[in-house]
Each structure stands twice: as structure tokens, then as C-alpha cells.
Structure 1
């Protein structure tokens, strides 16, 4: 299979959603299967499963997708998405975590909360 002339293997892409009727419809399941996309549905009634994703998708659409319209090729959206994710994780300042990028916050967290390993010499 190819997308914009680039080969990809079936099962490399996962479509994760909540258990809403539009996501459990046979038509979507068949479409995903034909496209080689694996379906993943979160547990029913689990708001935490979807809240972070919906918030992030809202930012993604507002900051990248809508201002970039009209997109001419899928490959343009894919490249722009990869660039946006890199920016979001490595350079975008997030107020909820002290106005630092997520990667910096995570690194600091693990440096402060990881116990040093004991080493021995023989």
C-alpha cells in the first residue's frame, strides 16, 4: 500500500477513539480495515481516557490544521503534523507545568524522583 507515493505497512497506524456510536459503526470499521489502520477503542465511560486527547486535538486543529487550509496533499499534513508535535513537545511553553516544554518537565521530574542506583566495586 502507498500513501502519496510512500509505502507503508498495514497495522502501522492506529485509530484510537472513545466508544461513541460513530466510532463503533461497521462502516468505520470496514473503512479502517481497508486502509490498513488498526482500530482501538477506549473503555466505556472512561472520561480520562479521552480528555487529554480531545484537548490536544483541539489545539492541533486550531494552531495547525485550520490556518493551513486548504491542504493539497496528505503528505503535507503528515509533515506539518510531525513538525507541530516536535514543537509542541520540545519548544512550546505549557503554563500548567511551570511554563516549560513537556520534554523538559518530564526530564526534570525523573531526575528529581529517581533513586540513584547502588554500584559496587570488586
Structure 2
């Protein structure tokens, strides 16, 4: 969904933890088909992808571990709502100067619009 909506340029880097879903051949091929480079930290070394590791920790602590999902579809809908309505638009991030991702992106694009 994000690739269709944002149409990122080739060379985008996708940071993730070493979860089995991100190491799966189908997922890696999908990234490659969109010109997206994958980045995972080495086993036992979370520092290469500290921001991604922090994201997954926040997702689990702030949402996933607080609820029981009766179906995969309900979990997917809740994660989507969390990302779109809270994490990207409201939640401040220390790595972004305490701005939300949307605010940070807007600050990067503002000089281009002028």
C-alpha cells in the first residue's frame, strides 16, 4: 500500500529487524521488484537498525501486546490505523528531533515547494 501511495524512488532503504517475514524469499523479491534495498542488522547487533528495532518495540508495547485479535484481518486493520492515525502523524520520535514522521517529512519537503 505504501509503495502504491508514495511511489518511492529506486534506492529506498527498507530497515527491519531479522523477523522471518522480512527474510522470506517472497518479501525480499517484492522489495527488489520495486527497487527497494533491504537493510537488516546482524544477529545480536541491533545498532545498525536501531530506529527500526525501536519501531517494532513500540508497535508491540503500544498496540500488539495490549489486545487479542480474533482474526488476522482485525490485527492488520488495527496496525494500519495505529500507523496512519498515530505513529506517523502524532507520535514524536527522538531520532527526528521530536517531530512525528509526517512533520519531519513536511519539513524536508518545504524548501522544495518554495
Using structure 1 for the length normalisation, give the TM-score: 0.52
Structure-1 residue corresponding to 2:81: 83
Return the index of the structure with the highest Cα Rg. 1
Is the CA contact (8 Å cut-off) linking 2:88 and 2:100 kept in structure 1?
yes
- The count of corresponding residues between Structure 1 and Structure 2 is 84
Bigger proportion of residues as helix: 2
Consecutive unaligned residues of structure 2, counting only runs of 5 or more, are: 1-15, 29-37
CA change 1:42–1:76 in 2 (3 A) is: same
Alpha-carbon deviation of 1:60?
0.2
Using the size of structure 2 for normalisation, the TM-score is 0.55
- Aligned pairs (5 A) from 1:35-46: 38-40=26-28, 42=39, 45=42
User: Distance in 1 between the 2:100 and 2:69 partners?
Assistant: 28
Alpha-carbon contact 2:93-2:101 (below 8 Å) kept = yes
Task: Give yes or no for contact 2:17–2:53 (8 Å, CA) kept in 1.
Answer: no
- List runs of 5+ in structure 1 lacking aligned partners: 1-15, 24-28, 117-122
Distance in 1 (CA, whole Å) between partners of 2:78 and 2:97 is 27
Alpha-carbon separation, structure 2, partners of 1:99 and 1:58: 18
Moved over 2 A (4+): 39-48, 93-100
